[in-house]
Structure 1
Amino acid sequence: MKRFLSITILSLLAINGFSQTQIIAHRGYWDTLGSARNSLSSLNNAIDLGVYGSELDVWLTKDGALVINHDDDYEGVVIRTATYKQVSALRLVNGEPLPTLQQYIEIVKKQNATKLIVEIKPHHSTESDVRAANAVVKAINESGQADLVDYISFSEAICNELIRLHPKHRVAYLNGEKSPEELKAAGYWGLDYYWEVLREKHPEWIKEAKALGLTTNVWTVNRLEQMQYFISQGIDFITTDNPQLLRGLVNEK
């Protein structure tokens, strides 16, 4: 009987989401001395903090390297049209080089608690988006760390390719205009929407998504009151620049 109840509880969690709101550090836990957004140190800090995931942004250079950076360019160098040699000469504000996806994988594979939340950036054409998605999946699959990766993107082409490559990929959509029903029909794992979408425009989408077995994530939530609101709504994930504050709130529940 106890075994049956345990299986039932686990099944319900798998269908309806997580029993407790999970924390995703936006571009890592970077707001600490000596760190920077999307840096190796921010990833290590997120792992040390024990959060569910560390979010990062990936670009494919013209010669096939997968580089971590938020914007299309860094200090005027457009990453998707540059070579890795050009990009590797750049430095973050803490002095680190712009990291590669492979460097992130090498760090995350030493543990099994914190996942990489890999945002594949739109590469300005469907063909380029598909190429970037394939390059990222290939690198992650070859590393043997697919279980430690969730995927997110604003690009439908990227998301569709991720789902096509493997229907079990954990893929969440960022753009905010698709209803839970549309996401479910397209094979998504979940939604990952800006906080205004889920609080002001479509607050009903949280419950609707959960009822459909989709996960729910909200970004970028940095204020205490916002955190409290989304925790009260039973959101599965909160993406934040202040993971330490959020951890304190989650642990109070």
Structure 2
Amino acid sequence: MKVYFALFFLMIISFASQAQTMKWNQNPVIAHRGAFKKNNYPENSIASLKEAIRLDCYGSEFDVHMTRDGVIVVNHDADFYGMDISSSTYKELLVKKLPNGESIPTLEAFLKEGMKQKKTKLILELKPAKTEEEMMRLTEAAVKMVHDMKATEWIEYISFHYGSLKRILELDPKAAVAFLASGDGAVSAAKLKEDKFAGADYNFAVYKANPALFEEAHRFGLTINGWTVNKEEDLLWMLDNKADYITTNEPELLFELLAKRKR
């Protein structure tokens, strides 16, 4: 009987420990392309992802494209050091290196690294492709990889391509998706809610031009994220207006401002 009680006690401790590791960071800080700037890490690198995790950011944003041979890679621009990604094979891209010696990361490698922890979300941006067919191919392949690797709990999706986000929700109705927009491309909160999006992810200037978007989005139960907010006065303005998330190249500065507010 004592053995059974001991085993039961160990199980309780194990479950409690596991539950603690499932708590995502509760702050508004999303590192844009990882936390790269302060330590001069390459943007969208494994190193910048690790630094965002070390800083305890809520999320680390990164961008994906697909190579000619169907490999999903992490890079902001459509070209990698002058090589067009969509018309290059992954092997061809390996000729070039990031400044810290890393090869261009694959989505698979990014997910493997990000899944080593359970406190920082991975904010996956699907970059626009040359054609609608290529965009859907990238979207479906990315969602499949996330599911095959059992990484759904870590991932939130963002994109400027509205149809891509709707397709994600067809493939995974539980996915968290947010629409990226700048200028007059913003969509109403009512429309985002109707299409079952989780939030609005607009350029900082969109909110400055129409601060009512904060109240509107929250009234519909949507989250607000602004990008790319780097100046202290702009970060403070976003905090004052109760932004849920702030995507920034200056995560360290944003953490400093948050700490001052708690004093």
Q: Which residue of 1 aligns with 2:231?
A: 223
After TM superposition, the runs of 4+ consecutive aligned structure 1 residues lying more than 4 A away are none
Contact 1:116 1:148 in 2 (8 A): yes
Deviation at 1:21, TM superposition (A): 4.9
1:247 aligned to 245, 255, 259, which one? Answer: 255
Deviation at 1:94, TM superposition (A): 2.3
Q: Alpha-carbon deviations, 1:85-132, whole Å to 9, x = none?
A: 111222112221111111111111111000110001111222111110
Q: Which residue of 2 aligns with 1:81?
A: 87
Q: Secondary structure at the match of 1:174?
A: strand
- Share of identical aligned residues, percent? 39
Q: Which residue of 2 aligns with 1:93?
A: 99
Q: Secondary structure at the match of 1:140?
A: helix
Q: Work out whether 1:38 is the aligned partner of 2:44.
A: yes
Contact 1:173 1:191 in 2 (8 A): yes
Q: Which residue of 2 aligns with 1:109?
A: 115
Q: Which residue of 1 aligns with 2:148?
A: 142
Q: Secondary structure at the match of 2:153?
A: helix
Q: Alpha-carbon deviations, 1:229-252, whole Å to 9, x = none?
A: 000100000000000010111233
Q: Secondary structure at the match of 1:24?
A: strand
Q: Work out whether 1:70 is the aligned partner of 2:73.
A: no
Q: Which residue of 2 aligns with 1:9?
A: none
Give the Cα separation in 1 of the matches to 2:27 and 2:120: 14
2:242 aligned to 224, 234, 239, which one? Answer: 234
Q: Alpha-carbon deviations, 1:20-71, whole Å to 9, x = none?
A: 7510000000013351101110000000000001000000111111101100
Q: Which residue of 2 aligns with 1:14?
A: none
Give the Cα separation in 1 of the matches to 2:213 and 2:38: 34
Contact 1:183 1:190 in 2 (8 A): yes
Give the Cα separation in 2 of the matches to 1:38 and 1:228: 26
Q: Work out whether 1:186 is the aligned partner of 2:192.
A: no
Q: Which residue of 1 aligns with 2:204?
A: 195
The letter of the residue matching 1:31 is: K
Q: Secondary structure at the match of 1:146?
A: coil
| TM-score of the two chains, using structure 2 as the length reference | 0.86
| TM-score of the two chains, using structure 1 as the length reference | 0.89
Instruction: Give the number of the structure whose alpha-carbon radius of gyration is greater.
Output: 2
The letter of the residue matching 2:190 is: E
Structure 1 range deviating more: 158-167 or 129-138: 158-167
Contact 1:21 1:235 in 2 (8 A): no
Q: Alpha-carbon deviations, 1:197-235, whole Å to 9, x = none?
A: 0112x2111111011011110000000000000001000
Q: Secondary structure at the match of 1:245?
A: helix
Give the Cα separation in 2 of the matches to 1:57 and 1:230: 24
Q: Which residue of 2 aligns with 1:61?
A: 67
Q: Secondary structure at the match of 2:187?
A: coil
2:217 aligned to 209, 212, 215, which one? Answer: 209
The letter of the residue matching 2:70 is: G
Give the Cα separation in 1 of the matches to 2:196 and 2:122: 21
Larger relative contact order, structure 1 or 2 (CA cutoff 8 Å, min sep 6): 1
Structure 1 range deviating more: 231-240 or 100-109: 100-109
Q: For residues 167-178 of structure 1, what are the structure 2 equivalents within 5 Å?
A: 167-176=173-182, 177-178=186-187
Q: Which residue of 2 aligns with 1:17?
A: none
Aligned pairs, how many?
234
Give the Cα separation in 2 of the matches to 1:21 and 1:225: 18
The letter of the residue matching 1:225 is: E
